[in-house]
Amino acid sequence: MKSLLSMALSGAVTAAAAQSSGPGAMPPVVEVRPASAQQVSVGSADTFTGDVRISSPFQAPLPGTAGGATVTFTARARTAWHTHPLGQTLIVTEGQGLVQQQGQPALIIRPGDVVTIPPNVRHWHGAGPSGSMTHIAIAEKENGSAVAWQDKLCEQDYQAAVVSAGLSAMTGQRAQQPQQPQKPQEPQKPQKPQKPQEPQKAVQPASDSLSPRQRAIPLIAAFTAISDLPRLGMALNQGLDAGMTVSEAKEVLVQLYAYAGFPRSLNALGELLKVVELRKQRGVQDAPGHDPSRAVSTGRELALVGQANQTEISGGPVQGPVFEFAPIINQFLQAHLFGDIFERDNLDWRSRELATVGALAATPGAENQLRSHMRASLRVGLTASQLRQLSQALAEGVGPEVAARADDALVQALDAASKG
């Protein structure tokens, strides 16, 4: 993507070229670099406006001169004005964006669109005003250079471009709307403490598809579990753009301390804080969300509530040699994880299981727990189709190994469910 951009912004592409052309190079072979092994860098403030992440940089081996990368722009983020000596090709893979040649109206670009930019044409490209956009950029070098960076596009010119393309220039329309999350005060009628669980049992989801907000949750969890903060920032932006509240994002990351550890959870919360502040600087007012609508029980009552939640989610009382060997661990699980955390109703159980499955799928060696939570996901109301979409999201966003673990766990969960 901004392939040229990535090249100019991160020395990674140049390094890749050097590796493939040195003396004594190995005979030509087909090479596959797994998505999970690709580096992610942050777009330079000198050449980009807003939050931009550059991933999977590549450079053709000599005598080839083409190179590129995948670039993700959060809402309103964009390149500076620039040109390419031999032109550039963009392939949009996700979201809605804009491209503009100087002196022409901006053009809207969508997934599947291929953009051809002629040599030495001054232009810029980036995300639209209401959501993120990802594209692959490919360009060739001339005399060792693929891009000539120029001045940055000012906010006034960006607004004018949005209008010229026929889009609304309003920023954060979705985010301003949730200023109504005072509504969660209404749920005061659910004074029946266990009410939040009831819908999890057997109510059929309104849709058999994961919403964009739901698709972002396992990505957020996976990147937290593997401590990939650059890609976590992208996933958090994706979730917030899709309507996730700040409270929900925080709750996902707080819960993950139980599955990924305190250090990763704390680091992820720090990344969320940075993301929210950057979005505020761009004028995006994300919906704050709400705190739990009721106080969590304490003492003996908390232990009983946690035990009931654990039994419902697990499909029966949790027991086994490990719990007999170290019964205190189950007391902690019941009182804290299934009590303190799962009783907080500012995040529904389906979202909690999407987060747990995402984190466990990204954790080698946690296959047993992953299988348990894949079965739990079915119990709280997620469908087999939605869980396949979760695996697909992990394959596209995190890596094939992570998705393969999720797929295996789902196959076993469905097999177990079919046997009752």
Helical (H) or strand (E) element with 379: helix 367-379
Q: Residue 42's pLDDT is what?
A: 85
Whole-number Å distance between alpha carbons of 115 and 79 = 15
pLDDT confidence of residue 350: 93
Note down the domain range covering 263. Answer: 212-294+344-418
Percent of the chain with pLDDT over 70: 83
The separation between CA 276 and the C-alpha centre of its own chain, rounded to angstroms, equals 14
pLDDT of residue 207: 62
306 contact partners, CB below 8 Å, separation of at least 6:
333, 334, 335, 336, 337, 338, 339, 340, 342, 343
Higher pLDDT, 8 or 297: 297
Residue 154 has a pLDDT of 92
- CA distance linking residue 107 with residue 162, whole number of Å: 9
Residue 63: asked if its preceding bond is cis (omega within 30°), the reply is yes
- Provide the mean pLDDT of the chain: 83
Last residue of a domain, one of 165, 198, 221: 165
Average pLDDT over residues 233-260: 93
Q: Is residue 79 included in any domain, yes or no? A: yes
**Same domain, residue pair 275 and 139:** no
Do residues 289 and 248 make contact, with C-beta atoms less than 8 angstroms apart?
Answer: yes
**Domain shared by 111 and 239, yes or no:** no
Q: What is the mean pLDDT of residues 346-370?
A: 95
Residue 283: which pLDDT band, with cuts at 50, 70 and 90? confident
Q: What digits encode the pLDDT tens for the residues 8-48?
A: 333 433 444 444 445 565 678 888 877 666 677 888 999 99
Is it the case that residue 240 has pLDDT exceeding 70?
A: yes
Q: Is the pLDDT of residue 184 over 80?
A: no
CATH number of the domain within which 414 lies? 1.20.1290.10
Here the CATH number for the domain that contains residue 49 is 2.60.120.10
Same domain, 161 and 217: no
- Alpha-carbon distance of 278 to 140, in angstroms, equals 33
Residue 1 lies in a domain: no
Q: What is the pLDDT of residue 331?
A: 87
Per-residue pLDDT, averaged over 211-232, amounts to 94
pLDDT given at position 31? 83
Evaluate whether residue 130 is within a structural domain.
yes
pLDDT at 417: 83
pLDDT at 176: 35
The pLDDT of residue 219 is 96
Alpha-carbon distance of 339 to 306, in angstroms, equals 4
CB burial of residue 346 (10 Å; 0-12, 13-18, 19+): middle
pLDDT digits (tens, 9 = 90+) for 86-133: 999 999 998 899 999 999 999 999 999 999 999 999 999 999 988 889
How many domains in the chain? Answer: 2
Residue range 236-243: mean pLDDT, rounded: 91
Lowest mean pLDDT among 140-149, 242-251, 264-273, 287-296: 287-296
User: Do 42 and 146 fall within a single domain?
Assistant: yes
Structure confidence at residue 232 (pLDDT) = 94
Res. 190: pLDDT tops 70: no
Better pLDDT: 291 or 33: 291
pLDDT of amino acid 420: 64
Instruction: Give the pLDDT band of residue 270 (cuts 50, 70, 90).
Output: very high
Q: Is 258 in the same domain as 161? A: no
Is there a single domain that holds both residue 53 and residue 132?
Answer: yes
Instruction: Judge if 272 and 144 occupy the same domain.
Output: no
Cβ contacts of 221 within 8 Å, gap of 6 or more: 252, 256, 259, 260, 354, 355, 356, 357, 358, 359, 362
Last residue of a domain, one of 135, 165, 195: 165
The arithmetic mean of pLDDT across residues 362-374, rounded, is 94
Domain assignment present for 339: no
Q: Where does the pLDDT of residue 172 fall: very low under 50, low under 70, confident under 90, or very high at 90 and above?
A: very low
Residues 349 and 245 occupy one common structural domain: yes
270 and 368 share one domain: yes
In a domain, 84, yes or no: yes
- Work out the number of other CB atoms within 10 angstroms of the CB of residue 11: 13
Residues 130 and 253 in one domain: no
pLDDT, position 163: 84
Q: Are 134 and 219 in the same domain?
A: no
- Are the beta carbons of 305 and 339 closer than 8 angstroms? yes
Query: Among 101, 131, 165, which residue terminates a domain?
Result: 165
In a domain, 283, yes or no: yes
Task: For residue 303, tell me if it sits in a domain.
Answer: no
Q: Would you say residue 173 lies in a domain?
A: no
Whether residues 217 and 159 fall in one domain: no
Which residues have CB under 8 Å from 48's CB, separation 6+? 5, 9, 77, 78, 79, 80
